Amino acid sequence: MSWTNLIVQTDKKEVDQISDYLLELGAVSSSIQDTNLNQNNEELLFDVPDDSCHKFWKNNTVQALFEKTIDIELIKASIRNKFKNTSLAFFIANVNDQDWVKLTQSQFNPICIQNKLWIIPTWHKIKDKNAINLILDPGLAFGTGAHPTTHLCLLWLVENTKQNSTVLDYGCGSGILSIGAKKLGAKTVVGVDIDDKAILASKENAKINAVEILWGNTKNKINFEANLVIANILSSSLSVLAPVLAEHTITHGKLALSGILESQENEIKLAYNKWFDFETTLKKNGWILLSGVKR
């Protein structure tokens, strides 16, 4: 079976409504992305997920997949009629049916950190059994090692985790950083998140990797101080959490903060310099990791 992919380019004014309307018109799927994705003028958008306040790019591309039997010209006319005052450009592409699971899996390859730690999806074979191998599939929770912020955090853990390390992973997501720290030799690792689904995903991933980690919800009091504290979360949350993360870091302990754009570096440092002396900033593709030592 083949499909018709209707591509609609528009501004951010009504892009969410257009995406929803395409589903009402019979699309089996609809997605929104930056029109300039993977180009030099790509717009980095990183904000708090909020159902009541959707934020989109200046230029957006909506892709909607329809069955081949659909009259796509009628769909285009319906969109134009409903969104008369919105800038619209249409493109059409044919999509042949294929093994979608295999296609998705092909997008996730093993990731190597400093020739020491490997992040390996379950459908790949372990090439080096002497290396530290972390088995992790894309799932409900954020964090597969592919995003620059996660990559920077894993790099930091490789460089800083010792056999006697105690680690707090604040905002554990998929559990990748907690599991990585434990596999790198940390003595005690605590992973916490505000989302129960993230904690569930973390527990499952820890089980697959045969590591014991303490998991908890940040809604509850955390009675734990660590010599390594790492937080790969939204920069807006990092600013608010400065006193909390400082409290959980022992004196002379290290703190790593990621999920930060280069343009936000000074703002985050200002929130934390009451407690921490910052080290060299790690950078990757417009994102940074700030590392500090608690005074």
Each residue's pLDDT tens digit, 90-110 = 999 988 766 555 655 555 678
Domains and CATH numbers, the chain: 2-97 (3.30.70.120), 138-294 (3.40.50.150)
For residue 85, what are the contacts with CB-CB under 8 A and spacing of at least 6?
none
Give the model's pLDDT for residue 40. Answer: 65
Q: How many CB atoms lie within 10 A of CB 173?
A: 25
Give the model's pLDDT for residue 204. Answer: 92
Among residues 189, 187, 158, 157, the alpha carbon closest in space to that of 255 is found at 157
Give the predicted TM-score (pTM) of the model: 0.69
For residue 34, what are the contacts with CB-CB under 8 A and spacing of at least 6?
42, 43, 45, 57, 59, 60, 61
Report the distance separating Cα 200 and Cα 222, nearest Å. Answer: 18
Each residue's pLDDT tens digit, 190-218 = 999 999 988 998 999 999 999 999 999 99
Residues found in the chain: 295
Q: In angstroms, how far is the first alpha carbon of the chain from the final one? A: 63
Each residue's pLDDT tens digit, 145-183 = 678 899 999 999 999 999 999 999 999 988 999 999 999
CA–CA distance from 259 to each of 45, 76, 166 (Å)?
Answer: 12, 38, 22
Report the distance separating Cα 226 and Cα 228, nearest Å. Answer: 5
Among residues 242, 253, 169, the alpha carbon closest in space to that of 211 is found at 169
